[in-house]
Structure 1
Amino acid sequence: MLRPLLTALILAASPAVAQDTAFGGMRADITAPVEVAADSLSVNQADGSAVFTGNVVIGQGEMRLSADSVTVVYGEGGQSRIRSLEARGNVTLVSGPDAAEAQAASYDVETGNVTLTGDVVLTQGQNVLTGDRMEVNLGSGTAQVQGRVRSVLQPGGN
């Protein structure tokens, strides 16, 4: 029990390294519909995008993403097929007991990959992990954190 904890702490103290983490509850049904709610919407027909602003909340299955603004990029077939989401400002990603905060996030809807950047903070119960960048695969529930990674692990925690 002590050895994995020491290994995690040593890895967490290392500057500018990548750390893999199980993202237990941070899974999503990437085939589920994407629902978006916001205070306002601006659509650009020329480039096939839409910008949602003000109290933006996006849901897909059990996953929720909130931000100040989100740009939705549509793929072939118009607005019925979302290719990606670009979130900016006060970004929070929640699924089950796991939550992540960042300054920005990019979600590739087709692959189920989310990249969070800028002062990333991941909380799993009482455990906290921080870094500059976190890449999450929502299909597998795995994540990789990069850039000045730090961990606070609670004894006896999962």
Structure 2
Amino acid sequence: MQIRTTVWVMGAAALLAAPVAWAQFAPTKDSPIAYAADTFEADEGNHTAVFTGSVEFLQDTSRLRADKVTVTYGQNQATGKWDVLSTAEALGNVYYVVDDQVMTGSRAVYTKSTDTLVLTGNVVLKQGQNVMEGSRLVYNVGAKKSSMDGVPTTGSKSRVRGVFYPDQQKKSQ
């Protein structure tokens, strides 16, 4: 049992590199993913891997930081093994960087079946000097479409807020 659990733990960590996990977190299957956490737990019965405490994943130009990351696996229909990413959830102080975009919030959930990342809790999206704030960001990875829900204000309405700067290169021409 010890060897089987060890193999599963090593396989669970390696599987993070195979599928697209955090809205383009694995741009190529060959790119390695470096990770660090204070603790790691694998639950073979529930098909989960849990990283806790100052969690960080790095790959190419992508970085994910959170207090806790839980990865859940589904069954591979071809092999019968439980080695296909189903969901990945980051909780607490979520900080996600892809290329020149920075996203922060309190919770992020990637669902493989819908290829969607949902970031909630005081969401801030930055690209260069441009900033957008809201309460929920929904990003469909494959379609490259996103929507932001507003931040509740006084009354029942909520609003998306932001600051956008004109392209500085156009001004110099």
Structure-2-length-normalised TM-score: 0.66
Q: Distance in 1 between matches of 2:104 and 2:117?
A: 12
Q: Distance in 2 between matches of 1:132 and 1:55?
A: 24
Q: CA deviation at 1:141?
A: 3.0
Q: Which runs of 4+ in 1 moved over 6 A?
A: none
Q: Provide the residue aligned with 1:73 in structure 2.
A: 72
Q: Provide the residue aligned with 1:48 in structure 2.
A: 47
Q: Provide the residue aligned with 1:6 in structure 2.
A: none
Q: CA deviation at 1:55?
A: 1.9
Q: Select which of 121, 139, 162 maps to 1:151.
A: 162
In structure 2, the gaps of 5 or more residues are 1-22, 76-80, 151-158
CA contact (8 A) 1:34 1:58 kept: no
Query: What are the equivalent positions in structure 2 for 1:37-116 lying under 5 Å apart?
Result: 37-59=36-58, 62-76=61-75, 77-78=81-82, 80-116=83-119
Letter in 2 for 1:112: D
Aligned pair in 2 of structure 1 residues 152, 128: CA closer, same or farther (>3 Å)?
A: same
Query: What are the equivalent positions in structure 2 for 1:23-34 lying under 5 Å apart?
Result: 27=24, 29=26, 32=29
Aligned pair in 2 of structure 1 residues 108, 58: CA closer, same or farther (>3 Å)?
A: farther
Q: CA deviation at 1:74?
A: 0.9
Aligned pair in 2 of structure 1 residues 112, 143: CA closer, same or farther (>3 Å)?
A: same
Asked if 1:126 is matched to 2:129, the reply is yes
Q: Distance in 2 between matches of 1:103 and 1:132?
A: 10
Q: Distance in 1 between matches of 2:142 and 2:60?
A: 12
Aligned residues: 132
Letter in 1 for 2:161: R
In structure 1, the gaps of 5 or more residues are 1-25
Q: CA deviation at 1:51?
A: 1.1
Q: Distance in 1 between matches of 2:61 and 2:88?
A: 17
Letter in 1 for 2:44: Q
Q: Secondary structure at the match of 2:166?
A: coil
Q: Secondary structure at the match of 1:47?
A: coil
Letter in 2 for 1:45: E
Aligned identity (percent) is: 38
Q: Which has the larger radius of gyration?
A: 2
